Amino acid sequence: MANYADFQTGLYFAGLAGETPAYPLTFAGLETAARDKMEHRLYDYVAGGAGDEHTQRGNVAAFERWGIQPRMLSGAADRDLSVELFGHTYPTPLFLAPIGVLGVMTDDEHGDLATAAASAASGVPMVASTLMQDPMEQVGAALGDTPGFFQLYTPNDRELAESFVHRAEASGFRGIVVTLDTWTLGYRPRDLQHATFPQLRGACLANYTSDPVFRSRLAAPPEEDPAAAAFQWALTFGNPTLTWDDLAWLRGLTELPLLLKGICHPDDVPRAKDAGVDGIYCSNHGGRQVASAPAIDFLPGVVDAAEGTPVLFDSGVRSGADVVKALALGATAVGIGRPYGYGAVLGGTAGVEFVLSCLLAEADLTMGLNGYASIAELSRDVLVRVP
């Protein structure tokens, strides 16, 4: 089994021929390069967060409060980073978290397809957003043999929600991820300062404009009146009345694994399990929706309450070391968002693959040099609190 750290060796040997990496290797470098390339309103939408953005800063800083305790002479020269999730073995514990403007972040404005191609090549699953620039059927096909997931923003139109789920099934997605914390938009000063929002300008609405149910709600086809279609999207997008009682309806729509994204309180976990949910997705939306504690602080309690049910995690993951720490705290799989999004900005599919290679190389080396040969060896006991 090849170690992902071999990527690092390849960079050194390429340097002997005068080649340097095509993209930055750190999150700070990726963000700076992407900022310099992106249209400023789009950059602020991606980089920004709720309120004064202390939650998203806290998400990142919280990882620094955990350290990994090294163990020597442990025979960790070869590592196994594979994980089991819903009956499939993935080669790594990473997944690509949904980004609702991913489609317009690449030069050709087909960022969802570019990311799906990176997913197909790497085996890292993609959680594809409801808000895509290309229809889910095309994105699902581009995933190839890598099982992907469809993230559902549950609209207030039940017939439309049912159509989305059934289309996702037909498109080959292997699970439905219901996002719970975005039934309305959080208070985002950067977007408000620009007085703009990408979807209101018609961006990333392909799953709506290609849907027969959504089209039936329009007076004219979206191709003829895109502004009216965007307005109808705004009226349809959120579902503020969604409650625990609605989980039976959502569960009944599909036999695919159903995950709830945004679960952060342990008491919500058994309610989800009682409703037939197959997985818990612990996340505070990367600090984009509302002020909260750092998401990683919620993870141990959610994992304990899950009692073996898979727990996915994202929010604040910026490095391979962060990935290892989240796994040690009990995450089944760890999602990245902005890092790969900036990779898409810089290089499309190649940029996403490069970021994944960097994160996996660092995670692999972090495990090996600290003496852990497999994810099964990671537990809270390997972590120490750093003052």
CA distance 160 to 214: 6
Q: Helix H segments across 217-294?
A: 226-236, 247-252, 268-274
Q: Is 195 left (phi over 0), alpha (psi -120 to 50) or beta?
A: left
Query: Which is it for strands 333-336 and 311-313: parallel, antiparallel or unpaired?
Result: parallel
Name every residue whose Cβ is closer than 8 Å to that of residue 25 and which is 6 or more positions away in sequence: 358
* Structure-block tokens of residue 280: 């818990």
The rounded Cα 102 to chain-centroid distance in angstroms is 11
Say which of 40, 54, 110, 285 is annotated catalytic: 285
Identify the three-state secondary structure at position 281.
Answer: strand
Read off the amino acid at residue 326: A
* Structure-block tokens of residue 261: 């994204």
Query: Which is it for strands 383-385 and 66-68: parallel, antiparallel or unpaired?
Result: antiparallel
CA distance 293 to 59: 8
Q: Which uninterrupted H or E stretch holds 43? A: helix 40-47
The rounded Cα 176 to chain-centroid distance in angstroms is 13
96 strand-pairing partners: 126, 336
CA distance 155 to 261: 15
The rounded Cα 203 to chain-centroid distance in angstroms is 19
Active-site annotation holds for 40 = no
Please identify every residue annotated as catalytic.
285
